[in-house]
Amino acid sequence: MKSLLFFLLFTPLAAALAQSDDEKAVRTAVTQLFDGMRKADTTLFKVVFAPGASLQSIAKNKEDVVSVRNESIADFVASVGKQKPGALDERLSAYDVKIDAEMAIAWTPYVFYYNGQKSHCGVNLFTLVKLKDGWKIQSIIDTRRREGCPDLK
Q: What is the pLDDT of residue 5?
A: 46
Architecture of domain 2-144: Roll (3.10)
* CB 34 within 8 Å of CB 140: no
* CB 49 within 8 Å of CB 133: no
pLDDT, tens digit (0-9, with 9 covering 90-100), for 42-88: 999 899 999 999 999 998 888 999 999 999 999 999 999 999 999 99
**114-144: b (≥16 Cβ within 10 Å) or e:** eeeebebbbbbbbbbbbeeeebbbbbbbbbb
pLDDT tier, 108 (very low <50, low <70, confident <90, very high otherwise):
very high
pTM for this prediction: 0.84
Domain regions of the chain by residue span: 2-144
The closest of 123, 126, 125 to 50, measured between CA atoms, is 126
* CB 128 within 8 Å of CB 104: yes
| Residues 6+ away with beta carbon under 8 Å from 23 | 97, 99, 104
CA 102 from centre of chain:
16
